[in-house]
Amino acid sequence: MGLNTSKLPNGPEMYVGEGYGLTQIEKVIGMARANSIWPLPFATSCCGIEFMATMASTYDLGRFGAERLSFSPRQADLLMVMGTIAKKMGPILKQVYTQMAEPKWVIAVGACASSGGIFDTYSVLQGIDKVIPVDVYVPGCPPPPEAILDGILKIQELIKNEPLRRRESAEYNDLLHSYQID
Amino acid sequence: MAEVNNQILGESISAQFGNQVLSVEETYGTLDIVVEKSIIIPLIKWLKTHDKFQVNFLTSLCGVHFPEQNDRELSVVYYLHSFINNIRFRIHVFLPASQPEIPTLTTLFAGANWMERETFEFYGIKFIGHPDLRIILNVEDMDYHPLLKQYPLVDATRTDKDDKYFGR
Amino acid sequence: MINISDDNFEKHKALNGQEQSDQELKQYNYLNLGPTHPATHGIFQNILKMDGEVIVDAQPTIGYIHRAFEKLAENRPFYQITTITDRLNYCSSPINNIGWHLTVEKLLGVKTPKRLDYLRVIIMELARIADHIICNSVVAVDTGALTGFLYVFQWREKIYEIYEEICGARLTTNIGRIGGFERDFSEKVFAKINNLLTELPAALSEFEKLVMRNRIFMDRTVNVGGITGERALEYSFTGPNLRAAGVDYDVRVMTPYCSYEDFDFTIPVGSSGDTYDRFCVRQEEMWQSISIIKQALKNLPKGDFHADVPEFYLPPKEEVYNTMEGLIWHFKIVMGEINVPKGQVYQSVEGGNGELGFYLVSDGGRQPYRLHIRRPCFIYYQAYPEMIKGSMLSDAILTMSSMNVIAGELDA
């Protein structure tokens, strides 16, 4: 007896039968998380305006499931850091990151968040990966909305393929430890 | 009443304050007046309350650092504007680096508050009588005044960028 | 980290020379309208001292995005500073760029042709419309009306398309050069501008119908966050905030630059300086900008799109590759071997928020000796605690968004 397979749109391959589908629970959870991200827009400067354009109707971020923005870190999944982070803002960014609950992802939008951008000065943090771990970097100054959406799609790929127990693994905890986040 | 132009303004100021006005020049159509520190507040007050000049607007206030000029290293520049006469001019005051103190302008113009804080933060110029003179733009525990010429632009403690690739 | 406790606020207050008794301290609560907040459009912090819902005092803290523009400008050649000026008021970056170019042209004594002036006016007025679109729609969003934002933001996309045709970038445009534009506007650009001019008025009217005489909006914004004209002048306000308070000061009229004296437009002036007046002033300025662009297009003279200054304006690439003079000028300009006059110059333009001024001190080198940027947001934000004293928290939010404080310009 052969098993039929079917693939959910935006979801995993499943062995299907009459009224049931068989797949790994990791993949279903990954699909659910990836298509319902609640982003926290940490918009500081010009990239924030491009984010507003991404949220608006022409480039609509809502089609990817990330319609509901959460400004409270306790209720957010994805920290989108958009814009220059100065040294004065670094501790606040770290505090917002630690307030988020696991699993959480970070996307650094723009050249300033990725590496300091054109501001190689005494007061600008040369990249947010000096204070928090980052998953996806979106280059550009500012990146056009299509690039930001590309970054969101890459985050969705990461989320879909993440092992369930990753957040409790020794490797991940070492990573957090290296940033003095415990 | 005669229209106020650069020449009339310059001559009136020189006449009123005599030899404490160090120089009056016109560059690119704007008057640049250099005065001594002691008369800066009386001068601006006189200009503001003068019934012909009516200098009612402080456009901005900044500092400049000239490390080669001995005893006149730091300069505070006041940009003033009279709406009624549509005339703009600048007043410069030079201060020695050993004693960079100057009275505050906040009693005349409330907008000078943050401008003076910024100038203090960048150059270390102390404004005597300022209600709240502390660092405004940088981190609170910043211990040097960054815009002085002896300090570099890039952060000396950064570890990631290799100078030889950046042409430094 | 800001620790909002009684001691911390006390430390700030003691510096102001005000004493408070323990009795008074206990009856107030302190709310941290922190740097990350959905309604503060930009990162700046306010510690509010509140008596229930009413605000008694506020202590602002800024500098969370201090990028040291003034120090950076001392280390970059003149033509590279245009990219830095983009990031000041990033909602209307062409105005900053053209303001900087005008400053350097004033220092160098460059005379610009009329066609260039008119093209610059078109770009600046488009940028002003874009800036006011953001500000007004965001004021509406803060009262809860999200629809206006979504409808009107599409026109910002159309303006972005026009910028892209001219200079290749959407937001931080780096438009033009010292002495002109890189190339003339093509037919496509004019077609897009004409298209915008035919369709934008309908969209703006629709936005106005939704919001401007809406009872809820008016209840939220009339008599909220007001400031008198005299007090605004004391605080060196400029721009729509000052005009809403009753003082008709506009740099385009007072000290015209870029042939603004050829255009016929009115300056909208409010009366009470409250949030509703600021909204209406910005709305009317958008209509005036549309009228200015129409006049500029109608009267656009033929001529050069750049000034005739081979020492400062990069020659076109065909000349650089094929002629000796082009190659030499290109080398000299980029390597900075041109003699720049020594001196100091101040040029101001009417930005989206008011008088944006550049004070340039040159010592003859290829970098400025000192560049001070007169940033309107930085100067008028000082008055914010005074404007919200006695109002409620939701009014404070609306006052802040109607003042159009852009963080890039605040901290520089």
Asked if residue C328 is part of any domain, the answer here is no
Decide which of C61, C77, C99 is a domain's last residue: C61
Q: Are strands C370-374 and A105-109 parallel, antiparallel or unpaired?
A: unpaired
> CB–CB of C382 and B110 under 8 A?
yes
- The phi-psi region of residue A27 (left if phi > 0; otherwise alpha if psi is between -120 and 50; otherwise beta) is alpha
Q: Does residue C1 lie within any of the structural domains?
A: no
Q: Are residues A102 and A155 in the same domain?
A: yes
The per-residue pLDDT for A11 is: 78
- Local confidence band at C7 (pLDDT 50, 70, 90 cut-offs): low
Determine which helix (DSSP H) or strand (DSSP E) holds A105, and give its type and residue range.
strand A105-109
pLDDT number for residue A2: 62
C114/C30 same-domain check: no
Shortest CA gap C213–chain B (Å): 34
Give yes or no: residues C145 and C237 share one domain. Answer: yes
CA distance B95 to B118: 17
What residue of A is the nearest CA neighbor of C89? A46
Give the per-residue pLDDT at C116: 93
Question: What is the distance in angstroms between the Cα of A62 and the nearest Cα belonging to chain C?
Answer: 13
What would the mean pLDDT of C387-411 be, rounded to a whole number?
90
A9 and A83 both lie in a single domain: no
Please tell me whether residues C288 and C179 are part of one structural domain: yes
In chain A, the number of structural domains is: 2
- Which residues, in sequence order, are bridge partners of residue A39? A78
Q: C55 pLDDT band (50/70/90 cuts)?
A: very high
Neighboring chain B residues of A120 at a CB cutoff of 8 Å: 153-154, 161
Q: Which ipTM did the prediction report? A: 0.92
Residue C338 has a pLDDT of 81
Residue C36 structural domain:
6-61
Query: What was the pLDDT predicted at C35?
Result: 85
In a domain? residue A59: yes
pLDDT in the model for residue C8: 54
Q: Which residue of B has its CA nearest to A122?
A: B155
Average pLDDT over residues A29-57: 91
Pick the residue from chain B with its C-alpha nearest to C374.
B60
The whole-number pLDDT of residue C2 equals: 45
Both structure tokens of C33: 């309208």
Q: What is the pLDDT of residues C252-287, one digit of tens each?
A: 999 999 999 999 999 999 998 899 999 999 999 999
- A10 or C184, higher pLDDT: C184
The answer to whether B161 contacts chain A (CB < 8 Å) is yes
Do A18 and A95 sit in the same domain of this protein? no
Q: How far is C361 from chain B (nearest CA, A)?
A: 9
In this structure, are residues B105 and B45 in contact, taking their beta carbons and an 8 Å threshold?
no
Q: C103 and C160: one domain?
A: yes
B138/A contact by beta carbon, under 8 A: yes
Query: Chain C closest CA to A18's CA: distance in Å?
Result: 44
Asked if residue C400 is part of any domain, the answer here is: yes
B168 pLDDT band, cuts 50/70/90, is: low
Q: Quick one: closest CA in B to A120, which residue? A: B154
Rounded mean pLDDT of chain A? 90
The reply to whether residue A87 touches residue B139, judged by beta carbons under 8 angstroms, is yes
* Same domain? A83 vs A103: yes
pTM of the model: 0.92
Q: What is the mean pLDDT of residues B112-121?
A: 93
Q: Which of the four pLDDT bands, split at 50, 70 and 90, describes residue A109?
A: very high
Those residues whose C-beta lies under 8 Å from the C-beta of residue A2, and which sit 6 or more positions away, are none
Q: Is the pLDDT of residue C16 over 60?
A: no
Residue C15 has pLDDT above 50, yes or no: no
Domain that holds residue A9: 1-34
- DSSP per position, B95-116: E-TT--EEE-STTT-TTHHHHH
What is chain C's alpha carbon radius of gyration, rounded to the nearest angstrom?
Answer: 23
Q: Are C222 and C276 in contact (CB under 8 A)?
A: yes
Q: Which residue in chain A is spatially nearest to B137 when comparing CA positions? A: A88
Q: What is the mean pLDDT of residues C239-251?
A: 93
What pLDDT shows up at residue A173? 92
For every residue of A24-82, DSSP letters joined together read -HHHHHHHHHHTT--EEEEE-SHHHHHHHHHHSTTT-GGGGT------SGGG-SEEEEE
Same domain (yes/no): A99, A50: yes
User: B147 CB near a chain C CB, below 8 Å?
Assistant: yes
Sorted by sequence, the CB contacts under 8 Å of residue C81 that are 6+ apart come out as: C73, C100, C368, C371
C20 and C118 housed in the same domain:
no
Are the CB atoms for B54 and B84 separated by under 8 Å?
A: yes
Kindly tell me if the per-residue pLDDT of B74 is higher than 70.
Answer: yes
Is A126 within 8 Å of B160 when comparing Cβ atoms? yes
Same domain as C86, residue C44? no
State the residue for tokens 């006011």. Answer: C132
- Dist CA A123 CA A86 (whole Å): 6
How sure is the predictor about C21, in pLDDT bands with cuts at 50, 70 and 90? low
Cα separations in angstroms, C394 against C33, C213, C385? 12, 20, 14
Instruction: Determine the straight-line distance between the first and last CA of chain A, rounded to whole angstroms.
Output: 51
Same domain, A80 and A14: no
What domains lie within chain B, and their CATH numbers? 6-151 (3.30.460.80)
Interchain CB contact of B90 with C (< 8 Å): yes
The number of residues making up chain A comes to 182
CATH code at position A141: 3.40.50.12280
CB contact under 8 A, C71 and B153: yes
* Token couple for C346: 């101040």
Are C172 and A83 in contact (CB < 8 Å)?
no
Question: In this structure, are A3 and A47 located in the same domain?
Answer: no
pLDDT score of B71: 86
Looking at the fold, whether A11 and A56 belong to one and the same domain comes out as: no
Residue B1 has pLDDT above 50, yes or no: no
Same domain, A60 and A115: yes
- Does the beta-carbon distance from C64 to A96 stay under 8 Å? no
B136 part of contact set with chain A, CB < 8 Å: no
The answer to the question of residue C371 being in a domain is yes
- The verdict on C32 and C83 lying in the same domain is no
pLDDT tens profile C161-182:
999 999 999 999 999 888 889 8
Kindly tell me the burial class for residue A163, based on how many C-beta atoms sit within 10 Å of its own C-beta (0-12, 13-18, 19 or more). exposed
> Using the beta-carbon criterion (under 8 Å), do B59 and C348 form an inter-chain contact?
yes
Token pair belonging to A142:
């500012």
On average, the pLDDT of chain C sits at 88
Q: B82 near B53, Cβ under 8 Å?
A: yes
CATH number at residue C103: 1.10.645.10
CB A35 within 8 A of CB A153: no
- pLDDT class of C11 with cuts at 50, 70, 90: low
Dihedral sign, Cα of residue B137, residue B138, residue B140, residue B146: negative
Question: How far apart are the C-alpha atoms of A90 and A107, rounded to whole Å?
Answer: 16
Beta bridge partners of C337: none
